[in-house]
């Protein structure tokens, strides 16, 4: 009887503490992350033109070349180009005529995890008398868009001067508002790109 009372008190305390926790993730966009990095020794004021492919490549791990589907591909390319233009950059068609080349790429990653509370087998009072806790499997998928500015795309190891990475949970359908907001944020937090 004493063990059941202690267990009930611990459970009540855990529930009351958990119910007071403010916030929490309620929407997929709450998980979005925007990361930017740049080469501090590079003088961005010396460059004002860039080239960019018309397609966002999907990194799949296969040898086959795969691209982001339309209309999403065009929306992403146009949003990147719009931000670059706002910062004073001019897009040119031929990479040979450009100061820098911007490469957009994307990929998805699915994480699967399994949970099982083995303490229930060893010490039944831990989980409650006569209760059975089976394990469970869960998964989540994240999507990433990476934008990389390089100085010499023909070199064996191109000189990367700026990288913007956008990552978040995928809801199963493309959300152009989330992607637009994340792309804008990457350029907003990179004021050194302004010409």
Q: Would the pLDDT of 6 be above 60?
A: no
pLDDT tens, position by position, 20-65: 434 555 666 666 889 999 999 999 999 999 999 999 999 888 888 8
pLDDT at 168: 76
CA-CA-CA-CA torsion sign (55, 156, 85, 80): positive
Answer whether residue 78 is part of any domain. Answer: yes
Answer whether residue 106 is part of any domain. Answer: yes
Specify whether the CB–CB gap between 29 and 16 falls below 8 A: no
pTM for the structure as a whole: 0.71
Answer whether residue 119 is part of any domain. Answer: yes
pLDDT tens, position by position, 165-191: 998 765 555 567 888 999 999 999 999
Token pair recorded at residue 85: 């233009």
3-state secondary structure of 14: helix
Specify whether the CB–CB gap between 52 and 102 falls below 8 A: yes
Answer whether residue 9 is part of any domain. Answer: no
CATH number at residue 136: 3.30.160.670
Model confidence at 3, pLDDT cuts 50, 70, 90, reads very low
Distance (Å, whole) CA 163 – CA 154: 18
Answer whether residue 14 is part of any domain. Answer: no
Answer whether residue 18 is part of any domain. Answer: no
- Domain extent, residue 119, equals 25-193
Number of domains in the chain: 1
Answer whether residue 144 is part of any domain. Answer: yes
Distance (Å, whole) CA 62 – CA 109: 14
Answer whether residue 1 is part of any domain. Answer: no
Token pair recorded at residue 32: 């979005």
Looking at residue 100, the DSSP 8-state letter turns out to be E
Tell me if the bond preceding 54 is cis, omega within 30° of 0: no
Beta bridge partners of residue 38, listed in sequence order: 162
pLDDT at 142: 75
Beta bridge partners of residue 26, listed in sequence order: none
79-105: average pLDDT: 95
């Amino acid at each position: 009887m004493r063990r059941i009372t202690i267990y009930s008190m611990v459970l009540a305390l855990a529930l009351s503490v958990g119910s007071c926790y403010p916030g929490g993730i309620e929407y997929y966009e709450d998980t979005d992350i925007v990361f930017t990095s740049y080469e501090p020794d590079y003088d961005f004021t010396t460059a004002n033109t860039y080239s960019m492919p018309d397609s966002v490549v999907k990194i799949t791990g296969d040898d086959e070349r795969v691209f982001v589907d339309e209309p999403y591909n065009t929306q992403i390319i146009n949003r990147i180009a719009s931000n670059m233009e706002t910062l004073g950059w001019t897009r040119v068609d031929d990479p040979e005529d450009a100061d820098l080349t911007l490469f957009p790429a994307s990929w998805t990653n699915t994480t699967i995890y399994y949970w099982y509370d083995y303490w229930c087998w060893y010490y039944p009072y831990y989980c409650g008398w006569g209760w059975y806790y089976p394990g469970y499997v869960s998964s989540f998928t994240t999507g990433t868009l990476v934008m990389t500015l390089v100085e010499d795309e023909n070199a064996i190891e191109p000189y990367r001067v700026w990288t913007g990475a956008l990552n978040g949970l995928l809801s199963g359908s493309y959300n152009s508002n989330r992607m637009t907001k994340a792309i804008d944020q990457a350029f907003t937090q990179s004021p050194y790109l302004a010409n």
